A and B are shown apart, each in its own frame.
Chain A
Amino acid sequence: DAGVIQSPRHEVTEMGQEVTLRCKPISGHNSLFWYRQTMMRGLELLIYFNNNVPIDDSGMPEDRFSAKMPNASFSTLKIQPSEPRDSAVYFCASTLAVGTDTQYFGPGTRLTVL
């Protein structure tokens, strides 16, 4: 089992640019989560998908952030335009069944916005 795969592992961009982060969940998992980790705020849930459908995006900071899950094996988190305060580590996690199973995390994408 390859685990949750995220790309890129590191991203450095300039303010105003579009950034796309990618995630491949564990095969067979029905739920996918995007988290953001910062020193100030710790781990924050941004959005949660179940069976490819966004269920809760209340954690998405603002309209500059969007997420999609076009199929069961792929999700993207896009920031447009990016700002320096978006610099953080972004994690993707997946689980077989919400409420009864563990969330498994990917290695994260470290985003730096200059």
Chain B
Amino acid sequence: AQSVTQPDIHITVSEGASLELRCNYSYGATPYLFWYVQSPGQGLQLLLKYFSGDTLVQGIKGFEAEFKRSQSSFNLRKPSVHWSDAAEYFCAVDPGTYKYIFGTGTRLKVLA
């Protein structure tokens, strides 16, 4: 069955530190891949997406993600975290249908 795994439920980093959020998917072909961010009380905002081409994708707010086919991963990175990045991050897969498959989310806490 198709699935998305975000193994880290909570991550805490210090402001200015680097960040990597993990996402693994299970799907037979290469799906469309997304990272969304949800701030408290807000909807989901698209950070970046991968459809094809360059496997390193740049997004908004200084985030990037790298698609690794061999590892079925699409990890999100940021070189220097800001306090405003504290939020919940969702990885999602679109296997070519309308049914996005969302991970369970990773809640990021940023220490001042």
Contacts and interface: CB of A to CB of B under 8 A. Distances in A.
B49 A99 contact: no
Interface stretch (A61-69, A75-83, A103-111): A103-111
B67 interface: no
B96 A103 contact: no
Interface in A20-54: 31, 33, 42-43, 45, 48, 50
| Size band of the interface chain A makes with B | 20 to 34
Nearest to B95: A99
A102 B99 CA distance: 12
B43 interface: yes
A99 B42 contact: no
A56 B97 CA distance: 12
A87 to B, nearest CB: 15
Given A42-B102, A43-B102, A91-B44, A105 B36 contact: yes
A42 B49 contact: no
A42 B105 contact: yes
Contact of A45 (B44, B100, B105): B100
A28 B36 CA distance: 22
Contacts of A50: 98
A37 to B, nearest CB: 9
Contact of B98 (A33, A91, A108): A33
Interface residues of B, number: 20
Contacts of A42: 102, 104-105
Contacts of B98: 31, 33, 48, 50, 55-56, 98-99
Contact of B43 (A56, A102, A107): A107
B94 interface: yes
A107 B39 CA distance: 10
A99 B102 CA distance: 15
Contact of A107 (B34, B42, B49, B90): B42
27 contacts: A33-B98, A42-B102, A42-B104, A42-B105, A43-B90, A43-B102, A48-B98, A48-B99, A50-B98, A56-B99, A91-B43, A93-B44, A98-B97, A99-B94, A99-B96, A99-B97, A99-B98, A100-B51, A102-B34, A102-B49, A103-B100, A105-B36, A105-B43, A105-B44, A106-B43, A108-B42, A110-B41
